[in-house]
């Protein structure tokens, strides 16, 4: 009888130990899976934030490039003694794709989880403003091209075309010219604001991502203000 109890106890003990081992192994396996899933999720979030940062940088560069073209045109016209001319006479059509840049929700999701709501709002707003800016520049460029079809060019001096207009022709064109001047004035003002705001947002993505991901390898972008150079 004693041997039976010893054998039974040994069997129960063996079963308990086996159960414990199985539980520990299962828990370790679950922990490993959880760690792997957490790592994959973190890498996915990092990739999304990198795409977001790249997209925001492209937006900022697009506006900066357009504004640089405008500044060069104005500087060249001013250097040629045409400072007093209206802007539409000094700024020709601007060539570009004028594609709008939007931020997909999956790229903004990590910022939502990080509770970076000001950054999210800023990015959404700058995307909308960039669309308005692109539309304004595109519309101005087309209207500026169409202007040549409304007048007869009498002479050219380098890249400056001149047309002689009668008082009647000038009066007829006046609403069109006012529209051109108003449009380019609005576009320039809009572009200055977008450029400054976009640069600030681009520079803010890096620190926010580093904090959320606990990853100091995430790139930080510093944009130097050319106007301050």
Distances (CA, A) of 118 to 111, 125, 128, 198: 10, 11, 16, 13
Average pLDDT over residues 16-37: 58
Q: pTM for the whole thing? A: 0.78
Predicted confidence at residue 161, as pLDDT, reads: 54
How far apart CA 41 and CA 35 sit, in angstroms, is 10
Predicted confidence at residue 128, as pLDDT, reads: 94
Question: First vs last Cα of the chain: how many Å apart?
Answer: 97
Strand partners, 155: 162
Whether residue 195 has pLDDT greater than 80: yes
How far apart CA 127 and CA 121 sit, in angstroms, is 10
Residue 5: which pLDDT band, with cuts at 50, 70 and 90? very low
Average pLDDT over residues 173-190: 92
List pLDDT tens digits, range 79-110.
988 898 899 888 988 987 678 899 999 999 99
């Amino acid at each position: 009888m004693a041997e039976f109890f010893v054998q039974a106890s040994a069997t129960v003990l063996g079963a308990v130990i086996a159960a414990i081992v199985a539980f520990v192994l299962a828990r370790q396996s679950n922990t490993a899976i959880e760690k792997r899933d957490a790592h994959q999720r973190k890498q996915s979030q990092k990739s999304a934030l990198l795409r977001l940062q790249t997209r925001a940088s492209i937006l900022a560069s697009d506006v900066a490039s357009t504004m640089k073209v405008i500044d060069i045109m104005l500087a060249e016209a001013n250097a040629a003694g045409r400072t007093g001319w209206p802007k539409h006479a000094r700024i020709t059509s601007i060539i570009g794709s004028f594609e709008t840049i939007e931020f997909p929700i999956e790229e903004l999701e990590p910022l939502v989880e990080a509770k970076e709501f000001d950054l999210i709002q800023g990015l959404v707003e700058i995307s909308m403003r960039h669309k308005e800016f692109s539309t304004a520049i595109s519309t101005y460029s087309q209207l500026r091209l169409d202007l040549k079809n409304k007048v007869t060019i009498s002479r050219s001096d380098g890249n400056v075309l001149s047309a002689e207009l009668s008082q009647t022709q000038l009066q007829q064109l006046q609403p069109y010219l006012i529209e051109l001047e108003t449009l380019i004035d609005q576009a320039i003002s809009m572009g200055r604001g977008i450029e400054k705001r976009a640069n600030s947002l681009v520079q803010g993505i890096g620190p926010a991502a580093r904090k959320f991901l606990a990853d100091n390898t995430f790139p930080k972008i510093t944009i130097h203000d050319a106007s301050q150079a």
